Amino acid sequence: MRIPYDEIVVLLAAILRANGFSKDRAVPAAELFADASRDGVQSHGLNRFPGFVTMVCDGYVKPEATPTLVEQMGAVERWDGNLGPGVLNAHQSMDRATELAREHTIGVVGLRNTNHWMRGANYGWQAAEAGCLGICWTNTEPNMAPWGGDRHGVGNNPLVIAVPRSDGHVVLDMAMSQFAYGRLGNHARSGEPLPVAGGVDSSGEPTTDAAAILDGGRVLPMGYWKGSGLALMLDLIAALVSGGKTTRDIADLEPEHSVSQVFAAIDLSGVNQASFHEAVVERAVEFVLAAGEGEAAPRYPGQATLSTRRDSGKNGVYVADEVWQRIKDLAPDR
- Structural domain range at position 26: 1-64+304-334
Q: For the domain that residue 329 is a member of, what is the CATH number?
A: 1.10.1530.10
Q: Is residue 244 part of a domain?
A: no
Q: Is residue 19 part of a domain?
A: yes
* Dist CA 13 CA 313 (whole Å): 19
**DSSP percent split of the chain into helix, strand, coil, nearest 5:** 45, 15, 40
Q: Is residue 182 part of a domain?
A: no
Q: Is residue 81 part of a domain?
A: no
Catalytic residue chosen out of the listed positions 44, 91, 187, 257: 44
* Dist CA 64 CA 88 (whole Å): 10
Q: Is residue 309 part of a domain?
A: yes
pTM above 0.75, yes or no: yes
* Residue closest to 26 by CA, chosen among 46, 50, 10, 44: 10
For 181-246, where are the E strands, in sequence order?
Answer: 199-200, 206-207, 218-219
Total number of domains in the chain: 1
Q: 77: number of CA atoms within 13 Å, CB side?
A: 25
Q: Is residue 72 part of a domain?
A: no
- Residue 44 a catalytic site member: yes
- pLDDT tens track of the chain, all 334 residues? 999 999 999 999 999 999 999 999 999 999 999 999 999 999 999 999 999 999 999 999 999 999 999 999 999 999 999 999 999 999 999 999 999 999 999 999 999 999 999 999 999 999 999 999 999 999 999 999 999 998 999 999 999 999 999 999 999 999 999 998 888 988 998 899 999 999 999 999 999 999 999 998 999 999 999 999 999 999 999 999 999 999 999 999 999 999 999 999 999 999 999 999 999 999 999 999 999 988 778 999 999 999 999 999 999 999 999 999 999 999 998 6
* Dist CA 295 CA 206 (whole Å): 27
Q: Is residue 41 part of a domain?
A: yes
Q: Is residue 8 part of a domain?
A: yes
